[in-house]
A and B are shown apart, each in its own frame.
Chain A
Amino acid sequence: MSDFDYSAMDSLQFDVLREIGNIGAGNATTALSQLLHSTKIDMKVPNVELLDFQDLADMIGGAENLIVGILLTLEGEIDGMMMFMMEKESAHHVINILMNRDLEDFESFTEMDLSALNEIGNIIAGAYLSSISTLTNMLITSSVPYMAIDMAGAILSVPAIEFGKVGDKALVIKTQIVEDDIEVSGYFVLIPTLESYSKIMASLGL
């Protein structure tokens, strides 16, 4: 089952992964808008892309752009990682809304902010994963969230290395969420292992 080759994926398989991204992020967007009591959060059409390692960080503003990355490892019937990323400014926006604070504060995160961010990551990643679990009828459990605030290239090196073990490209299911008047952009990246791809495809009859 581990002979799945994502460089040879056909358009149907791309569509399936896109749909998984759609459903997962749709649920996560709902979770986020409930959390923030906002009805203006919207989701863009997801992209499924095979990217060279060099180009990975360009999806979120380049290798040196400051981002917040929340990583969960997946266990159960699907192994791998999922990552939720926000540009640092977006993370500040979300926290400021949540904490009822001045919307112009972009200076620094308090201890409380960091744990709130972690929890946000946990809630929306959980929403994302549970919808995939329902769709594929497979059990997926995740680790506690791990968070890092650093350069995009450095944060993305972690999933890139996982892909590097099996190939020279990274398959990225990317979904962007946007809150219209305050520009909150978040990106989901789902990184199943090769064997898990085969399982996902098989569970959907492909």
Chain B
Amino acid sequence: MGNMIKVGMADFNICKAPDAITTLGLGSCVGIALYDANRKIAGLAHIMLPDSQAVKNNSNVAKFADTGIDACIDMMVKNGASRIGLVAKIAGGAQMFAFGSGNDMLRIGERNVIATKAKLKQLGIRILAEDTGNSYGRTIEFYPETGELLIKAVGKPPKKV
């Protein structure tokens, strides 16, 4: 077994098999696992917000769906991955609290997922699997050796996609 590389909130990193990469306790944030299956290189981005253009302070590119995915792919390419043929698996984007309607904060998880999908589509990256929405937190682990994404949630059996 390789090492487990941890990615925090508003952060990204990469790993190569046999190492694996994880992010803990995804709530309304979205975890995006990017994968070069030929070279067994994976990237994982943990984004918090949909759009870097919508806020003034956007210096931390890892925070946003649009810039975070780009930055993560750049890092993968620098480390030997190919930009062509990358695939993705995504998880998170939950609505942790059942806010009443009309509250913009309530839809942030959903908006993160929509922005993530739009960005991946724009880059021509296929989404092989997703486990998004609902109202619970998730811990995810990606294994570049097999291309599997393991999703753990409280009170539920772990799920492999």
- Which residues of A are in contact with B by a Cβ distance under 8 Å? 52-54, 56-57, 62-64, 66, 69, 71, 73, 81, 143-144, 146-158, 160-162, 164-168
Contact = CB atoms under 8 A, between A and B. Distances in A.
Interface string B48-77: 110000011101100100000000000000
B96 A153 contact: no
Contact of A150 (B8, B49, B59, B137): B137
Contacts of A52: 8
Contact of A158 (B49, B97, B139): B97
Contacts of A156: 25, 27
A146 B97 contact: yes
Interface of B: 8-11, 24-29, 48-49, 55-57, 59-60, 63, 94, 96-100, 103, 105, 108, 135-139, 154
Select the residue from A53, A155, A161, A168 with max chain B CB neighbours within 10 A.
A161
A71 B97 contact: yes
A119 to B, nearest CB: 16
Given A148-B96, A153-B137, A158 B27 contact: yes
A168 B9 contact: no
B97 to A, nearest CB: 4
Given A73-B103, A143-B100, A146-B99, A154 B138 contact: yes
A167 B100 CA distance: 26
A151 B154 contact: yes
A165 B49 contact: yes
B27 A153 contact: yes
Chain A, interface SS category: mixed
B137 A158 contact: no
Contacts of A57: 24-25
Contacts of A168: 10, 57, 59-60, 63
Given A64-B24, A152-B25, A168-B57, A161 B98 contact: no
B56 to A, nearest CB: 7
A180 B55 CA distance: 45
B5 to A, nearest CB: 14
A54 B8 contact: yes
A149 B98 CA distance: 12
B48 A160 contact: yes
Contacts of B26: 153-154, 157
Select the residue from B9, B26, B154 with max chain A CB neighbours within 10 A.
B9
Given A155-B137, A161-B48, A164-B10, A150 B154 contact: yes
Instruction: Give 3 nearest A-B pairs by CB, closest first.
Output: A153-B25, A154-B137, A157-B27
A69 B97 CA distance: 9
A164 B49 contact: yes
Contacts of B27: 150-151, 153-158
B24 A150 contact: no
Given A53-B8, A164-B48, A166-B56, A148 B28 contact: no
